[in-house]
Amino acid sequence: MKTVSHWIGGRAVEGASGSYGPVTDPATGEVTTRVALASAAEVDTAVANAKEAYRSWGTSSLAARTSVLFAYRALLDAHREDLARLITAEHGKVHSDALGEVARGLEIVELACGITTQLKGELSTEVSSRVDVAAIRQPLGVVAGITPFNFPAMVPLWMFPLAIACGNTFVLKPSEKDPSAALLLAELAQRAGLPDGVFNVVNGDKVAVDRLLEHPDVAAVSFVGSTPIARHIHRTAAANGKRVQALGGAKNHMLVLPDADLDAAADAAVSAAYGSAGERCMAVSAVVAVGDTGDALVARIRDRAEKIKIGPGNDPASEMGPLITREHRDKVASYVTGAAAQGAEVVLDGTGFTVEGYENGHWIGLSLLDKVPVTADAYRDEIFGPVLCVLRAATYEEGLALINSSPWGNGTAIFTRDGGAARRFQLEVQAGMVGVNVPIPVPVGYHSFGGWKDSLFGDHHIYGNDGVHFYTRGKVVTTRWPDPQDGGVDLGFPSHR
Ligand code: NAD
């Protein structure tokens, strides 16, 4: 069986704790790999390596940093397929989707290649006689990232390329469910010329995470995962004096107005609800049909959903793969099983589905629930599976109020031909990312990604300008080069002359 170790100080380091976790191929249900689970002492070793590397990396030239990042971009580009294969083998998503994940992660490496422009400071000359003021941004030191299973390459890439471009060194704790992609990311970074210790990977579970949260040499923590853990990370890291951004879960609503192109809306709903088996934080999991659109929209969604081909992610014919674990599959199924008793109409029931020849895989079919009451568990919880809830609203205002009453505020979308309604929606909806006829509005790399309410704890969204801001701190330098005519003691508060 393959063993996934840690990556510390520029090399693979075997686990020393004696503790391992299983990594399963979701399509077969077989445990293919064991992943080392770090002890607190192993986390300390990684942080110590990162701290040592920061001594030179923190003051390295922008030219040196970007030269590594450009080489890294080329290597990642050349290894897209390898990364995608690792992702499919451990996460289960179909190969084309895994390639998409790598491409979106590469965007942030490309952003980091342009860090020279992002880190330009500001200078005001002659703010007073012979006084100049410069604002600069400097790295924080050692920063940590803790990432979820659903994007094992992209979410780490949201974090560390920008963090190291800003001059920090990094310790990543990937999801223990699909850790291999992170190790390849680290190996390629070293091949690109990244000095040892600048980027480290410690595998592990809560033990490793909690040590990172309390370690005195960790200056900041970026987290992406579920809401309860995001809340814990935010509280604990902040209580330990760290800067923290913690992105949580979601229930993303798509509002469909009566004037929308219903075929386009149904295409979008199916793609966004069932892509990656619904295991995306930006998946559309609730459609709100306004006016009399509901029946026609549900019929169109059902027709499309019935045709989706489910199978192993490495089969090019598959459009949707299995879920990450058997336990998660059973939990997702329980929402569908319980939906009718809670008042929903079960239009498609994906429970009990299996794939011939892969009977032990973590399969579930597509489920579609209509007229779901807001009190039903299927609506109230983040299911994180291929289950789409449709709710009905009489008016735009009613639909908007429903969306805004959700505790989450990650992404949302409106489908309409009415520019005025779309404009109102983008201003009135309480969510961090809004799509207008775009179902999954994940911002491009040079804008920032993040939700509102229980979808993000902290002040900064991730990547883009917010990312640069998060991974640096500001300093303002006031300079006077005295002229022979200056001089004399002045006890007054400094003011402009
Ligand atoms: P998770 O919260 O279970 O795990 C995320 C990370 O936290 C993992 O590295 C895990 O090892 C660690 N962790 C888990 N339990 C912990 C604990 N008790 N103490 C300390 N650390 C712990 O999330 P997941 O199941 O891996 O990922 C799915 C979730 O992530 C979904 O809720 C999804 O919406 C969310 N997500 C959000 C975004 C976003 O940008 N907002 C992006 C991707 C995923």
* 447-467 per-position pLDDT tens digit: 999 999 999 999 999 999 999
pLDDT at res. 491: 87
Whether ligand 1 lies within 6 angstroms of the CB of 93 is answered as: no
Q: What is the pLDDT of residues 381-413, one digit of tens each?
A: 999 999 999 999 999 999 999 999 999 999 999
Whether ligand 1 lies within 6 angstroms of the CB of 325 is answered as: no
Q: What is the residue with the minimal CA distance to atom 34 of ligand 1? A: 249
Picking from 90, 393, 375, 94, the residue whose alpha carbon sits closest to that of residue 258 is 393
Whether ligand 1 lies within 6 angstroms of the CB of 52 is answered as: no
| 484 band by pLDDT with thresholds 50, 70 and 90 | confident
Q: Which of 113, 166, 281, 389 is catalytic?
A: 281
What is the distance between the alpha carbons of residues 343 and 84, in angstroms, rounded to a whole number? 40
Whether ligand 1 lies within 6 angstroms of the CB of 361 is answered as: no
Q: What is the pLDDT of residues 122-175, one digit of tens each?
A: 999 999 989 999 999 999 999 999 999 999 999 999 999 999 999 999 999 999
* E strand or H helix at 245: strand 243-247
pLDDT at res. 496: 66
Which of 37, 226, 440 to mutate to test ligand 1, by most ligand atoms within 8 A of the CB atom?
A: 226
What is the distance between the alpha carbons of residues 94 and 319, in angstroms, rounded to a whole number? 7
For strands 11-13 and 6-8, give the pairing.
antiparallel
Whether ligand 1 lies within 6 angstroms of the CB of 203 is answered as: no
Nearest atom, ligand 1, residue 226 CA: 32
Q: How far is the CA of 246 from the centre of ligand 1 (A)?
A: 10
What is the distance between the alpha carbons of residues 64 and 310, in angstroms, rounded to a whole number? 46
Q: What is the pLDDT of residues 186-206, one digit of tens each?
A: 999 999 999 999 999 999 999
pLDDT at res. 487: 75
Taking 90 as the threshold, does the pLDDT of residue 486 lie above it? Answer: no
**Token pair for residue 86?**
């690792």
Q: How far is the CA of 452 from the centre of ligand 1 (A)?
A: 17
What is the distance between the alpha carbons of residues 382 and 6, in angstroms, rounded to a whole number? 31
pLDDT at res. 61: 98
Neighbours of 343 (CB within 10 A): 15
Q: How far is the CA of 113 from the centre of ligand 1 (A)?
A: 28
* E strand or H helix at 379: helix 377-380
Is residue 281 flagged as an active site residue?
Answer: yes
> HSE on the CB side for 427, CA within 13 Å?
5
| 3 band by pLDDT with thresholds 50, 70 and 90 | very high
| 497 band by pLDDT with thresholds 50, 70 and 90 | low
Q: Of 48-52, 64-68, 125-129, which range is least confident? A: 125-129
Q: How far is the CA of 225 from the centre of ligand 1 (A)?
A: 3
Whether ligand 1 lies within 6 angstroms of the CB of 89 is answered as: no
Q: Ramachandran region of residue 354, left (φ > 0), alpha (ψ -120 to 50) or beta? A: beta
Q: What is the pLDDT of residues 196-243, one digit of tens each?
A: 999 999 999 999 999 999 999 999 999 999 999 999 999 999 999 999
Comparison of pLDDT for 253 and 494, the residue scoring more:
253
pLDDT at res. 493: 84
Neighbours of 400 (CB within 10 A): 23
Q: How many residues comprise the chain?
A: 497
Q: What is the pLDDT of residues 268-325, one digit of tens each?
A: 999 999 999 999 999 999 999 999 999 999 999 999 999 999 999 999 999 999 999 9
Q: How far is CA 476 from the centre of its chain?
A: 32
What is the distance between the alpha carbons of residues 464 and 187, in angstroms, rounded to a whole number? 25
What is the distance between the alpha carbons of residues 479 and 123, in angstroms, rounded to a whole number? 11
Which of 229, 251, 455 to mutate to test ligand 1, by most ligand atoms within 8 A of the CB atom?
A: 229
Contacting residues for 372 by C-beta, under 8 A, at least 6 apart: 286, 339, 343, 344, 378, 379, 389, 390, 391
Whether ligand 1 lies within 6 angstroms of the CB of 178 is answered as: no
Q: What is the residue with the minimal CA distance to atom 24 of ligand 1? A: 148
Whether ligand 1 lies within 6 angstroms of the CB of 383 is answered as: no
Q: What's the mean per-residue pLDDT of the chain? A: 97
CA–CA distances in Å: residue 197 to residues 53, 211, 327 = 5, 18, 37
Nearest atom, ligand 1, residue 148 CA: 26
| 36 band by pLDDT with thresholds 50, 70 and 90 | very high
pLDDT at res. 425: 98
Whether ligand 1 lies within 6 angstroms of the CB of 382 is answered as: yes
Q: How far is the CA of 224 from the centre of ligand 1 (A)?
A: 6
Q: How far is the CA of 426 from the centre of ligand 1 (A)?
A: 28
What is the distance between the alpha carbons of residues 362 and 360, in angstroms, rounded to a whole number? 7
| 490 band by pLDDT with thresholds 50, 70 and 90 | confident
Domains of the chain (ranges; CATH) run: 2-248+455-477 (3.40.605.10), 252-436 (3.40.309.10)
Q: How far is the CA of 147 from the centre of ligand 1 (A)?
A: 6
